[in-house]
Amino acid sequence: MKATTQTGTTTQQSLLRALLHNKAGMTVEALAQALEISRNAVRQHLTSLERDGLVARGKTRSSGGRPEQLYVLTGEGSERFPRQYSWFSELLLRLLQAQTGRAGLGEKLAELGRSVGASMTSRLSGESGSEERIASIAAIMQEIGYDAVAKTGEGEKLIEAHNCVFHKLAAECPEVCSFDIALLSTCSGNRVEHSNCMVRGGDACRFRFVPEDSPATAKIALSSNEPAERS
C-alpha cells in the first residue's frame, strides 16, 4: 500500500479488513463508523486504495434518497491477507511423490511444464532456438516473477535467473526444477541444460539452450539429485 505514514498504513489495513468482513461492500459512512475516522479521511484512503487496485466500487444501494455507493475488496486486495499456497503445494507434492516415487514425480512435473509451455508458444516471437525466441521466453519469465535475462555469446544461448519463484518448494523437492526445464524446452524447441542451480548452491539458475541435433549432454535428470556442473 502506498501510504505516506505508518498511521495511514495501519488505517488502510483496517479498512481492507473491514471490507474483508463485509463481502457485499460498505459505504463511506459505514467505513467511517467502523474505523472511527471522518468521512473525508475515508474517501482519501479509498482513493489511494482504488488507485492501487485493492478496492473497487461495487453496487449502489438505495437509501430513500441519493443512492449510496458501496466499496468492495478486489481480488488483489484479498491477496494482501495471509495465504498458504507454498504449504499446500508441499502437501500435494508429498502426496504425489508417495504415489509415484521421486522419478515419477519428476516426470509428472515435467509433463505439467510441457503443457504450460505449449500454452505459451503463441506469445513467443522468433524461430525455435533463435536469440529472439530466447529473449521472448525471458520476458515471459519476468512476468511470472523471475528476475531473468537472456544472454548470448561464444556460440551459446542461455537464460540466467537470479531468483526462483519456487525456491522453497525446490529446496524441499528438487524435482520441481523438472517443471522449469520442460517448460523452457517446449517454448524454445531446444534441449535445456540446467547448468547452475541456486537450490544446489549456485549464485543463479542458468538454463542453456542446446539444439536437438547437438552432441551436447541431454537435459539433467534431477531425479538423481546430483549437483549440476557449475558454469
The owner of cell 549432454 is 217
Name the average pLDDT for the chain.
Answer: 86
Do 115 and 214 belong to one domain?
yes
CATH number for the domain including 55?
A: 1.10.10.10
- The reported pLDDT for the residue numbered 150 is 94
Question: In which band, very low, low, confident or very high, does the pLDDT at 7 lie, cut at 50, 70 and 90?
Answer: very low
Give per-residue pLDDT as tens, 58-87.
999 887 778 999 999 999 999 888 877 888
Within-domain flag for 229: no
What's the CA dihedral at 166, 172, 177, 180 to 10 degrees? -20
Do 38 and 105 belong to one domain?
no
Last residue within a domain, chosen from 46, 78, 110? 78
Q: How far apart are CA 44 and CA 34, in angstroms?
A: 16
- The reported pLDDT for the residue numbered 205 is 94
What's the pTM value of the predicted model, to 2 decimals?
A: 0.65
Average pLDDT over residues 194-209: 92
Do 48 and 91 belong to one domain?
no
Q: Where are the alpha helices (DSSP H) in the chain?
A: 6-20, 28-35, 39-51, 75-78, 85-120, 131-144, 167-172, 177-188
Do 60 and 112 belong to one domain?
no
- The reported pLDDT for the residue numbered 84 is 77
**Which is higher by pLDDT, 47 or 5?**
47
Do 140 and 45 belong to one domain?
no
pLDDT at 223 exceeding the cut of 70: no
pLDDT at 9 exceeding the cut of 60: yes
Question: In which band, very low, low, confident or very high, does the pLDDT at 50 lie, cut at 50, 70 and 90?
Answer: very high
Last residue within a domain, chosen from 33, 53, 78? 78
Last residue within a domain, chosen from 78, 110, 134? 78
Average pLDDT over residues 158-186: 92
Residue 178's nearest CA partner among 157, 192, 162, 161 is: 192
pLDDT at 6 exceeding the cut of 70: no
- Most confident listed range (24-28, 78-82, 221-225): 24-28
CATH number for the domain including 152?
A: 3.30.1380
Do 73 and 92 belong to one domain?
no
Do 160 and 97 belong to one domain?
yes
Do 89 and 176 belong to one domain?
yes
Number of domains, the chain: 2
Question: Which residues span the domain enclosing 24?
Answer: 6-78
Do 52 and 163 belong to one domain?
no
Average pLDDT over residues 151-178: 88
Share of the chain above pLDDT 70, in %: 88
Average pLDDT over residues 143-150: 92
